[in-house]
Amino acid sequence: MKSPLLVAALLAVVPVNEGWSWGQEGHSIVAEIAQRRLSDTAAREVDRLLGSELTLPKGARFSLSSIASWADDYRSDMGPKGHIETYNWHFVDIPYDRDAYNAVRDCSADPVKGDCVINALARLVPELSDCSKKDTERAMALKFVVHFLGDLHQPLHATTRINPDTAADDLGANLIQVTFFGQPSNLHKVWDSDLILHKVYDWGEYVRLLETTWLPGKDIAALQAGDTVSWGEDAHRVAQIVAYEFPPDHALGQEYYDAAIPMVDQQLALGGLRLARVLNEAFQPGKICPER
Ligand SMILES: [Zn+2]
């Protein structure tokens, strides 16, 4: 059963996790665009793996959008301290003034908070098709991968900048206070959710708009090419040329929105297309693991 509106209604009662990830809408948009491009084999395996954690009838269907924000809840909500060891897995801090990813500089492992989204995906994607793993372990990897492919495409999850006013790291623009059409916000949150919700307050409708205006006529294979490093560097470039181009008074309005929203559309669509590629490659006909 695939009903974006129903899922949106269900998600609306979940507390919003501010400032650290595409909002739930962005993740749901990426996941739904991917879901529509899964091969039959991949779609069956997604249903089977996600079903392995639940006592639902065999053959139950799942929407990737419904589990797309699970990794944020896992990080912050479970247990007394949450799963802080996954904290840094949601982003890669390529410095604003550099163009290329450097693994030593940008993805070294913090003993408490983990390394970065590039290394997290390098570990998790192979787990999807690792038949030595239990189904529940592979289901967990799937939930992480769906989320992290989204995060990797959020420009401010691929960039951080030393604030020229304070000489301090702005934490992916979380520390840059702005107003967005008069409402207090921060620059990171503007990209996580404010821009998306300003365009249309309904992620299912956002998907429909991308499917009817952005995606038609595109060379899908070309857009799916590359790897997690090049995808992160592409997102980083969007941060350099658009996200950080805010006015000196930090008041973001129509002019900023008009420059930013084509990039938001692009990054959400690319995230969905590339997630579809990753899942279709992981779950190929003839290479599906036996149930365990
Ligand atoms: Zn995240």
pLDDT value, residue 230: 98
Ligand 1: centre distance to CA 235 (Å): 15
The domain over range 4-283 is classified in CATH as 3.40.640.10: no
Bridging pattern class, strands 251-252 and 177-180: parallel
pLDDT band at 194 (very low <50, low <70, confident <90, very high): very high
Report the distance separating Cα 285 and Cα 42, nearest Å.
Answer: 8
Ligand 1: centre distance to CA 287 (Å): 30
Chain centroid to Cα 131, Å, comes to 26
Ligand 1: centre distance to CA 19 (Å): 9
Ligand 1: centre distance to CA 284 (Å): 27
In sequence order, which ranges of the chain are alpha helices (DSSP H)?
4-11, 24-35, 40-51, 64-67, 70-77, 103-106, 117-128, 135-152, 187-189, 195-199, 203-209, 220-224, 228-238, 254-282
Most trustworthy range by pLDDT among 8-12, 83-87, 124-128: 124-128
Ligand 1: centre distance to CA 58 (Å): 30
CB contact set of 83 (below 8 Å; sequence gap of 6+): 74, 75
Ligand 1: centre distance to CA 83 (Å): 13
Lookup: tokens for 276 = 């579809």
Residue showing tokens 């479970």: 78
Tens digit of each residue's pLDDT (9 = 90 or more) over 75-121: 986 566 679 999 999 999 999 999 999 999 999 999 999 999 999 99
Domain ranges in the chain are 4-283
Tens digit of each residue's pLDDT (9 = 90 or more) over 242-285: 999 999 999 999 999 999 999 999 999 999 999 999 999 999 99
